[in-house]
Amino acid sequence: MPYSSWLQTLKASLQGEVAQIICIAIIVGSVGGWIASNQMEGLLQTLVRIGVGMGIILGTTALITSLSTSGALV
């Protein structure tokens, strides 16, 4: 497919060392926001929760890749 190379580049970017650092920063920032979420309202609270979820998902992908284990292929 014409977009396969772009997807491979995106996959490599999401699994690299820079992605791990970004994921840790997202998780730390989002958890800090979640702790203070009692003072936030609607949309901002939802964005913090999305940030936590994204950080965990991307961080898990980067962790599995760095451990060099193989898992299920999606």
Give yes or no for a contact between 51 and 24, defined as CB atoms under 8 angstroms apart. Answer: no
- Where the chain has pLDDT below 70, the residues are 1, 14-16, 37, 62, 65, 68-74
In a domain, 12, yes or no: no
In a domain, 48, yes or no: yes
Closest-CA residue to 56 (of 32, 33, 22): 22
Report pLDDT for 69. 58
In a domain, 40, yes or no: yes
DSSP state for residue 38 in the 8-state scheme: G
Give kind and range of the element (H or E) at residue 71: none
* Count of the separate structural domains present in the chain: 1
